Each structure stands twice: as C-alpha cells, then as structure tokens.
Amino acid sequence: MKQANLRGFGASYLTGAVPPIDMPDDVVTLCRSEADAILHCINFGKARFGYTQLDIAKLCGWSSDNHLSSYKRGAAAMPAKHHDRFGHVTGCNLLTQYLRRQETIAELTGTVTANKRNEAVLARMLATAPQHEARAA
C-alpha cells in the first residue's frame, strides 16, 4: 500500500490537523519528575484521542509499549530524539516544557553540568557562524 493512500489517518503529527498544545504553567509546576510529565502526557493522549498506551508507543515508532512503560515509571529517561514525536502523538508539549523548566532552574541555581554548558556554548557558536555551502568535488 502506498503512503499517499494513508494521508488523513492516524496521529495528529501525520496530518498536522491538531498541533500539540502547551500546558498551563501550574500543570508544569505539578510535575515532580520527567516520569510524571510522561505519565500525564500519556493520560492526556488517552483522554483526548482515545489512544491506549500501546497505540501511543506504536505511533512513536516502538513495536511494543515496554519502552514507554519504563519511561513512565522513571526506570529510564526518554531520549531527546523522541520528545517531539511523543509530544505530537499525545497532543501536548508537557514533557518538553518540564525539561525546559528543569534546564532553566539548573542555569539559575548554577548547577549546570560541564557537558550541558559545553553543549550550550557549541550550539551558540554554531548559531552565530555563517553557513557555508558544501564544496563541489
């Protein structure tokens, strides 16, 4: 079956019809951990779209919900490369908002790790550097 035949079906990220929404500040504040934020996002996706946890996992690209269960329990941290897709599938940006708040708190309290500081410096340097086109061989 061709991909074009499936247009208009599936999760909101496939159609772009329902972009993920930001949650209110008090909801972000109520999250005590990344696992809490993931759990709340899953519950939101279930209530809003009628997804099961397995549906959410499959729409995120996993064959089973084992990964999602371990993220929800706090046994493992969700890799950053999955944050955007997870937000689109569940329909909310709560996880991204929570992680952004934790980064801000770490910066304000001076508890930023050396790796995070180096990543931030590199990102800033790359953002200000002019983009060069690849040379033709």
What single-letter amino acid sits at 84? D
Digit-coded pLDDT (tens) for 58-117: 999 999 999 999 999 999 999 999 999 999 999 999 999 999 999 889 888 988 788 888
pTM: predicted TM-score of the whole model, two decimal places: 0.74
Q: Spell out the domains of the chain, with CATH numbers in brackets.
A: 3-128 (1.10.260.40)
Residue with the bigger pLDDT between 8 and 37: it is 37
Query: What's the Cα-to-Cα distance from 19 to each of 39, 45, 92, 110, 131, rounded to whole Å?
Result: 19, 13, 8, 34, 30
